[in-house]
Amino acid sequence: MKRAIAMSLAVLTILSALYWLPQSAAARAPADLCYDDWEACRSRALQSDEGVIRTILWLTVCDVGLGKCLLKL
Amino acid sequence: MRRSGLPLVLAIGLGCNSQPVICRQLPVARHVAREVTRGIQPKGWPGLSRPVAIACDESRVYVLDMDDGDIKVFSRWGIFESVIGRKGQGPGEFNFPSGLDIFRGRLYVADSANRRVQVLDTKGSYLSGFRVPFSPHRILALGPDRIVVTSLPSGRSEKERVLHGFDGSGEILWEAGDSFFSRDSPYDLMKNRWFIVRAAKGELLLVPGADGRVIRRLDADGALLEETKVSERYASQEVAVPAKAGGKRSLRTFCWNCAADAGKLFLLVPERTDDGDLGPGKTIAVLNRAAGLEATIAFPVRLTRIAVDGNMIFGIDVDSSLRIFRTESR
Measured between CB atoms, does A61 come within 8 Å of chain B? no
Closest-CA distance of chain A to residue B214, Å? 20
Residue among B265, B300, B260, B264 nearest B281 (CA): B300
Q: Which residues of A touch B135 (CB under 8 A)?
A: 39-40, 43
Q: Is the dihedral of CA A70, A46, B262, B289 positive or negative?
A: negative
User: Contacts by B140-143 with C-beta closer than 8 Å and gap 24+?
Assistant: B140/B101, B140/B108, B140/B196, B140/B197, B140/B198, B140/B204, B141/B101, B141/B103, B141/B104, B141/B106, B141/B108, B142/B103, B142/B198, B142/B202, B142/B203, B142/B204, B142/B220, B143/B103, B143/B202, B143/B220
CB B229 within 8 A of CB B236: no
Q: How far apart, in whole angstroms, are the C-alpha atoms of residue A62 and residue A45?
A: 8
- Whether this model's pTM surpasses 0.90: no
- Write down all domains in chain B, each with its CATH number in brackets: 6-329 (2.120.10.30)
Instruction: Check B113 against A52: CB less than 8 A apart.
Output: no
Mean pLDDT, 10 residues at a time, chain B of 330 residues: 40 42 70 88 92 97 97 95 97 97 97 97 97 96 95 87 96 94 91 95 95 94 96 91 87 96 96 94 95 96 97 96 90
Domain count across chain A: 1
- Alpha helices per DSSP H over chain B: 6-14, 185-191
Cβ pairs A/B, distance under 8 A = 76
Q: Which residues contact B127 (CB under 8 A, 6 or more apart)?
A: B106, B119, B120, B121
Measured between CB atoms, does A70 come within 8 Å of chain B? no
> What phi, psi does B48 have (nearest 5°)?
-105, 130
Q: What is each CA distance from B131 to A38, B109, B149, B170, in whole angstroms? A: 19, 12, 12, 7
Instruction: Check A52 against B189: CB less than 8 A apart.
Output: no
Measured between CB atoms, does A46 come within 8 Å of chain B? yes
Q: How far apart, in whole angstroms, are the C-alpha atoms of residue B265 and residue B291?
A: 8
> What phi, psi does B234 have (nearest 5°)?
-90, 110
pLDDT recorded at residue B24: 56
Q: Which residues pair with A60 in a beta bridge?
A: none
Q: Is the dihedral of CA B132, B112, B65, A55 positive or negative?
A: negative
Measured between CB atoms, does A32 come within 8 Å of chain B? no
Q: What does chain A come to in residues?
A: 73
Task: Give yes or no for residue A26 having a pLDDT over 80.
Answer: no
CB B269 within 8 A of CB B257: no
Residue among B50, B189, B205, B298 nearest A52 (CA): B189
pLDDT recorded at residue B25: 67
Q: With a CB-CB cutoff of 8 Å, which residues 268-287 of chain B face chain A?
A: 270, 273, 275-280
Structural domain boundaries, residue A18:
2-72
Instruction: Check B50 against A46: CB less than 8 A apart.
Output: no
Q: How far apart, in whole angstroms, are the C-alpha atoms of residue B93 and residue B70?
A: 7
Residue among B177, B253, B190, B255 nearest B216 (CA): B177
Q: Which residues of A touch B51 (CB under 8 A)?
A: none
The mean pLDDT value for A13-29 works out to 47
Q: Which residues contact B80 (CB under 8 A, 6 or more apart)?
A: B41, B42, B45, B46, B72, B73, B74
CB B242 within 8 A of CB A57: yes
